[in-house]
Chain A
Amino acid sequence: MHIPDGYLGPATCGFFYAVMLPIWALASRIVKKTLKAKQVPMLAIGAAFSFIVMLFDIPIPGGTTAHAIGAVLIAILLGPWPACIAITVTLVIQAFLFGDGGILALGANSFNMAFADVFAGYYIYRLVSYRSKPQSIRRVIAAGIGAYMGATLAAILTAVEIGLQKGKYSPYGLKEALPAMAGASILVFGWVDALLTAAVVKYLQSRKDTLEIQPS
């Protein structure tokens, strides 16, 4: 899911930075205004949590493993704007310190995972769980659906961005990139994210004293 540098042309990278700059500015303004002082460390903890979630390989049938992004989970737990900042921070650390995901491609990666995945997944969760009780099973299902849709959308966007570079930067076009990436998400990665998000929400529901899921 993380696009390294070399996959996208400079114009595409510039375009996504131009799209993300106002989103990041808005996110930092909203978070500064709405986040209570005592929730400030939670932002950093959310980012570190997401980093660690990406380290978890979850076994799936057939002997393979996959890892989740955790973007929708963070959005459910912190809200979409803080989640946007938290996932961006995770991507910055991965790109600058570990070479995982490009520096020039950071705008595109953030658009896919810190914006599209977070917001689409979160609002699908809100829609499906509309007027449900915090402890209801509908919340758990909604979290799973939101995470699945968010991760799949991020994979489709990644495939489109790479597929549109055919000839100049990528050896493959949309015809090859879309089924390969979206298919992997629809069949495997999306389910891992869904399973993880739903299970964590279910677990947190059973812990009433520490449940801090965002209201729907």
Chain B
Amino acid sequence: MKFSHHNFIQRAIIKTINFFKESIFAQEYALQKGFLQWFPPQVKIISVLAVIVGTLLTKSIALLFVFYLICLLIASLSKIKIGYFLKRTWLFIPIFSFFIALPAFFTDFNIAVLFVTRVLVSTSYIILLSLTTPHTRLLKTLRSFGVPQVFVMTLGMCYRYIFLFAEVIENTYLAVKSRVGGAIHYKHGQHIATWRIASLWQRSLQLNREIYDAMLSRGYSGEPRVLDE
């Protein structure tokens, strides 16, 4: 979190671009013919939840390490590069949790190790689920768990808008950066960031009208229907 306020525009762009890259990488892995890609998303979600509950119930650090090794083995069988998987899982949550627990290592070593290992194992299995399942399928699968239709519809639409908005932000930031140059005072930076967010909302209102017209032209009558791709 700590960095010079002079390059916050650049950082926001990098964050946006990283978001795109992560999503593209995830889709690439999800489309490979690996071990976990073979299973239906419902089975994977239930299994991951079971593993996380197991992780929380056990007090054995050895068992948690077995869970973690199994996770790495499954990742490898699912054709995910281990280096990429380790980077993706360790950054940011487990490392952050490690630093949170650091003082506790000197007072209550056992609970500190349990804490960090539980977080690592849980995060790793969730990332494994996300990497081996196409995102749109994963979100659609939530419907079979009784999630109300309004949530499923919003999830599907929201996922697409995130990409659209991220692109808008990236383009606008590049335009802003080309005008303000390198150094910028934090107060001016706050003004720019707030103005961008507000103008994004304005664009959203415009987009809402256009999307509703598009929905009507495709026969929308108040009841959303989810198409299988």
Interface residues, chain A, CB within 8 Å of chain B? 4-7, 9-10, 13, 24-25, 28, 31-32, 37-49, 51-53, 55-61, 63-66, 77, 85-86, 88-90, 92-93, 95-100, 102-104, 167, 169-172, 195-196, 199-200, 203-204, 207, 210, 212
Contact = CB atoms under 8 A, between A and B. Distances in A.
Given A103-B52, A169-B118, A195-B194, A65 B5 contact: yes
Given A45-B208, A60-B5, A77-B201, 17 more contacts: A4-B93, A5-B122, A5-B123, A7-B119, A37-B222, A52-B162, A55-B19, A59-B190, A65-B3, A90-B158, A93-B158, A96-B129, A97-B23, A171-B101, A171-B111, A171-B115, A212-B205
Q: Which of A7, A52, A204 has its CB near the most chain B CB atoms (within 10 A)?
A: A52
Contacts of B2: 63-64
Given A7-B119, A47-B158, A169-B56, A95 B204 contact: no
Contacts of A85: 150-151, 154
Contacts of B112: 171
Contacts of A28: 148-151
B197 A97 contact: no
Interface residues of B, number: 88
Interface in B174-208: 186, 189-190, 193-202, 204-208
A88 B154 CA distance: 10
A134 to B, nearest CB: 16
B39 interface: no
Nearest to A49: B204
A207 B193 CA distance: 18
B174 to A, nearest CB: 15
A64 B164 CA distance: 28
Given A171-B111, A196-B194, A55 B126 contact: no
Contact of A89 (B48, B122, B155, B195): B155
A150 B112 CA distance: 31
A56 B169 CA distance: 10
B122 A4 contact: yes
Contacts of B28: none
A102 B52 contact: yes
A60 B194 CA distance: 13
Given A55-B12, A96-B129, A170 B189 contact: no
A210 B96 CA distance: 41
Contacts of B73: none
User: Closest 6 A-B residue pairs measured CB to CB?
Assistant: A44-B157, A171-B104, A48-B161, A5-B122, A6-B119, A6-B118
B99 interface: no
B186 A60 contact: yes
A172 to B, nearest CB: 7
B154 to A, nearest CB: 5
A59 B8 contact: yes
Given A55-B12, A56-B197, A98-B22, A25 B148 contact: yes
B143 interface: no
A61 B1 CA distance: 13
B166 interface: yes
B53 interface: yes
Contacts of A53: 197
Contacts of A9: 56
Contacts of B97: 4, 6-7
Given A55-B12, A58-B190, A65-B5, A204 B57 contact: no
